[in-house]
Structure 1
C-alpha cells in the first residue's frame, strides 16, 4: 500500500524556498506574507490585530481569537501544532476542520466486528458476508450519512444458533479526521510565527 505524504511533509517540501515579507508591523497590528519569490503558489498572509489572527492566501482562510497577542498564543506550542485546541478558537465557524474519513470508518467497523466475534459461538463467515454486502461496500463507505444509516440498520441473525450480530451506539463513533487543509494552515501559522520571531531576535541582537 502506498503511503501518502502527511500534511507536515508536504508543507516542509513546498516551503523550502519561501521568504518572509513584512508588510506592516506595529505592535500586535501585523501583516506578514510568506511566499516563494516569483510565484503565488502556496503563499499565505498572517494578519493580526488585538485578540485576533487571520491566515489567508493560497491556503484556506481561518480566523482565530484568544489572546491579545495571537503570535504569543500560537508560539506557546513552540513550533508544534495543536489542532484540537486551536480549532476551539476559530471565529469563522462555517469553515471545516474535521472531515469524514472512509478508511477510519472501515477500520472501526472491522474492529467492532472482530470484538463481537469473540463472544459468538456461531461461525463468523455468514455475518461477515452480510456486513460486506450491506455496509462495507464502496458506495456506502464513501458517504458519512450513508454509512451511519447502514450501521444503525445492520444486523444479522445466525440461523442455527439464533445469535444476533449488530452494532450499538454507532452514533457515538468518531469517523472523522482533521481536514488536510486545516492542518496545512496550522503548520503555516506555526512556521510563519517562528520565522517572524527568529528575524526579530536577530534584529535585536544586531542592534
Structure 2
C-alpha cells in the first residue's frame, strides 16, 4: 500500500453483504420494459426466480418486488434510477467492496412514512453500546484498567523490596478491601455514637491504606527506584479496588445480557443503571436496519448499476 492510499473502514453489515454477493454472483439483468421513466427490469440467475427481484419505475417512483426485496416503494425525484445512482452512496466505500449506502437517507424516501418500520430492536447493538460506553468510562474504562494494572505492578515491586511473602502481601490487600467495604456500607443514623463509629471506620480505612503503601524499611535508593520507574507520585497512596475495572465491566455486561430480550426491557435496565452507563441512555437508538431492508438497498444498487451498464451499451453507436 502506498502512502497515498487510504485505509477503508470495515463494513458494519459485512455478513449481510457477503450473503448478498454469494446469492447473486450469477445474476443478470433482464429488461422487460424501457420507455423513458417507465421501466420494468428484473435481476435474476439464469433459469430460476430464486433470489430474484423486479424493479419498476414511473415518474417520481421506484418499487421493488420479487423473491427478495419485496414490497418497497420509494419516491424522491422524477427519475429514481438517477437518484439511486449516486444519492446517499459512495462506490466501494468499505474494505469488503460494499457501497457506502446511507440507509437512513434511503429509508427517508420510502412511501407512507415507513422509515421507522425498516428498523428493529437489536440486542447485539444494545450490548455493543453498553460495552463501548463502559470502555470509555473514567471509572471502569480501558484507561482505568491500565491505571489499575500499573498500581498492582508497583505494589508488587514495593512489597518485594520490603521482603514480604505472598501471604503477608495478601493480608495487606485484604485489610484494605475489608476496611473500604465497611466504610462504604455503613449508614449511620443521626446519633453521636453513630458519628463516632463512622469516624472510626474512616480512620481504619486510612490506616489500612497506609499499611498497603507503607515504605518502612526501604533504602533511599529503593524508594528512588520506585519513584523513577513506576510513577510513584501518580499511583501511590490511592485506593486499589478488589474488583478490577475490566472485571466490573464484564459483570455489568453479563447483567445487561439478561435484560436484552426486548427493547423495553433494555431501556428499563439502562434507566436503572445510570451509575454505570450514564443518564443520557434514553437517547440511545437500540434499533438497527432490518435485514430485508438491507437486502433491498443492495438489490436496488445492483439493479441500477446493471441497468446503467445496459443503457450505456445501448447508446454506443453500432459498428459499421
Confirm whether residue 143 of structure 1 aligns to residue 153 of structure 2: no
Partners of 2:138 and 2:270 in 1: CA distance: 14
Residue 290 of structure 2 corresponds to residue 179 of structure 1: yes
Greater Cα offset, 127-136 or 88-97: 127-136
Preserved CA contact (<8 Å) 1:51 1:69 = yes
Match among 66, 75, 100 for residue 65 of structure 1: 75
- In structure 1, the partner of 2:224 is none
Within the candidate set 121, 124, 127, 1:100 is matched to 121
> Is the radius of gyration larger for structure 1 or structure 2?
2
Q: Aligned partners of 2:314 and 2:66: how far apart in 1? A: 27
Q: Deviations over 1:11-46 (max 9, x none)?
A: 222112112211111110111111112222111010
CA drift at 1:92: 3.6
Once residues 32 and 83 of structure 2 are traced to their aligned partners in structure 1, the CA distance between those partners, rounded to angstroms, is 21
Structure 1: gaps of 5 or more residues: 156-163
Mapping of residues 23-38 of structure 1, within 5 Å: 23-38=32-47
State TM-score, norm by structure 1.
0.80
> Secondary structure at 2:50's aligned position in 1?
coil
Match of 1:21 in 2: 30
Instruction: Number of aligned residue pairs: give it.
Output: 194
Structure 2 unaligned regions, length at least 5: 1-12, 92-98, 145-238
- Partner Cα distance (1:149, 1:122) in 2: 32
Q: Structure 2 CA distance, aligned partners of 1:59 and 1:94?
A: 18
Identify the structure with the greater helix proportion: 2
CA contact (8 A) 2:84 2:301 kept: yes
CA RMSD of aligned residues (A): 2.8
**Scaled by the length of structure 2, what TM-score is found?**
0.54
Question: Does the 8 Å CA contact 2:133/2:277 hold for their aligned counterparts?
Answer: no
* CA-CA distance at 1:132 after TM superposition: 5.0
Distance 2:24 2:305 in 1: 14
Cα distance change, pair 86–166 in 1 and its aligned pair in 2 (3 A): closer
Task: Provide the C-alpha distance between the structure 1 equivalents of 2:63 and 2:26, rounded to a whole number of angstroms.
Answer: 23
